[in-house]
Amino acid sequence: MTKHDNRPLVLILIIALWLLGGVFVFTSAKAYAANDGSQSDLYQNLQLFNEVLIKLKQNYVNEPSDEELIKAAINGMLGATDPHTSFFDAEEFTDFTTSTKGEFGGLGIQIDKKGDYITVVSPIEGTPAYRMGLTAGDRIVKVDGISVVGVSTDEAIKKMRGPVGTKVTLTISRPGVTDLLDFIIIRDVIKIKSVPYAFKLDNGVGYIRISQFSENTDRELIAALDTLESSGIRGLIIDLRFNPGGLLDQAIDTVNEFIGPNKLVVETKGRIQNSNRQYFTRFNRKAKEYPIVVLVNEASASAAEIFAGSLQDWDAGLIVGKPTFGKGSVQQLFPLSNGNGIKITTSYYYIKSGRCIHKEINDKLLKGKEVTAEEKEQIDKKVKDHVYYTVNGRQVFGGGGITPDIEFNPDFLTNFGMELRRKNTFFNFAIDYMVKHNHSVNRSFTVDNGTFEQFLDYARTQEIKFTQSDIDSTASFIRTSLASEIVGKQYGEQEAYRITLKLDAQFQKALELFDKNRTLDQMFNYANQAAKKGSKE
């Protein structure tokens, strides 16, 4: 029997399945007693879908694959929803459901699809991608020479992951840089530590970096707080910049550390009744007797926004930095037949003050749709028009994302500085330097003029072109970055990270708040006065 001889059987099967679907729709319509005609419309549209499918099977120039047609239909259907609702085949579903274990093989980047491009949201600290200098906003156009423009996020992840120790070449399009950039990265086991850095600063203020909210975030945070508090800190900076979010229960339990038990943190609201839930803190924790500043930026998302917004709503911390991303939708996983699965947006997050975290314009951008300047202006105005209040009556703003109490702008790296990082110049020079100096430097090491000139000579051998003006504008960055790499080689990543904070304009501005204000109430008053003046730091 030839291939075409199977067609009548296939068509009978399809029609039979459609009829079963029709029975299901009819039964559902009776069960729900719908009076608005919506079930009838669904029945008619399914009939139309069936007609198209049959005509394709009968008349298309080549024999179409049933599986490919159905998957394309499913993905097309989901295209009418938000960018976070997606279908997984069996392999993808398995990968997705195991990706929150806290350890996997890969490069160490958080990515998302923006338009046709797989875009770096944030490199994960301490990973190969982070060390190589990939940065937020980089567009990945090729993986090992194969274009990934237009592919799904999951497909791109598959191409980038591989055996530990193997190489992968990412070709990057970077805003402001004309030529494409190649990064050759060696895959490694990616172990995600939620609190990679926690230490006491020279002025007595504690610093905690939360990179994401995963399985052990609350335990890591408690351990860091216990150590810092036992050392007698006079204040605390919690850094949530570039934190893409993570597990909701971990966001709630970490908020618990600062507001105590039986407090509403967040609630979800959706169309279906069981999507509407309230989440409260559960544990007794001692009140913090020092002021707390939370640093956020445009890449702080989801659970990070719940944490920051909740501390703001409960007047437990001052939020500074830039307005957050606005990812406040809730997804639920549903297993399907044959190992497949689907992730569906079922509700939105609302924090204590009543603010919805979700910024709908992001859904439009993530689906590659154009957003005009007028639309952006209207959305910014909408945020300021939606006024809410904290538990102590402070005014805060809604409309998507978390608006800081005080805005601090970051410093931007020069093209010369970006090129030095992209070519791994600091890392490679530091290795040679440590070999020449018998792997021994002081913890207080600084880059003298001789070492500075040696570094510039090394950069020239890497075919990096620069002018005296480039050197003058990037000198501080070079000296600090080089000191960070060299000290880190001997004393570890945390010591290296402490040095890099000297370059961090937002962090330095946040640190100054503790010199101007001794209590959190004083910080709130300071922020209120700045808001009345309409000033931005």
Name the helix (H) or strand (E) containing 421.
Answer: helix 415-422
Q: How far is CA 393 from the centre of its chain?
A: 31
Strands 341-351 and 117-123, how do they pair? unpaired
Residue 379 class from Cβ within 10 Å (0-12 exposed, 13-18 middle, 19+ buried)? Answer: middle
Question: Which two three-digit tokens encode residue 106?
Answer: 């890969």
Active-site residue, selected from the candidate residues 138, 313, 363, 470: 313
For the question of residue 327 being annotated catalytic, the response is yes
Helix pair 520-533, 505-516: axis angle to 10 deg:
110
For the question of residue 41 being annotated catalytic, the response is no
Active-site residue, selected from the candidate residues 302, 329, 347, 353: 302
- 3-state secondary structure string across 292-350: EEEEECCCCCCHHHHHHHHHHHCCCCEEEECCCCCCCEEEEEEECHHHCEEEEEEEEEE
- 3-state secondary structure string across 335-392: ECHHHCEEEEEEEEEEECCCCECCCHHHHHHHCCCCCCHHHHHHHHHHHHHCEEECCC
Which residues does residue 207 pair with via DSSP β-bridges, in sequence order?
Answer: 199, 237
Write out the DSSP string of 462-491.
TT----HHHHHHHHHHHHHHHHHHHHHHHH
**Which residues have C-beta within 8 Å of that of residue 420, sequence separation ≥ 6?**
426, 459, 464, 474, 478, 481
Strands 197-200 and 205-209, how do they pair? antiparallel
Q: State how far the Cα of 343 lies from the Cα of 89, in Å rounded to an integer.
A: 11
Strands 292-296 and 318-321, how do they pair? parallel
Q: Torsion angle of alpha carbons 296, 534, 310, 258, nearest 10°?
A: 80
Active-site residue, selected from the candidate residues 113, 263, 327, 352: 327
Q: State how far the Cα of 226 lies from the Cα of 337, in Å rounded to an integer.
A: 47
For the question of residue 179 being annotated catalytic, the response is no
Alpha-carbon separation of residue 101 from 156, 170, 250, 339, 340 (angstroms) = 20, 25, 14, 20, 20
Catalytic positions: 302, 313, 327
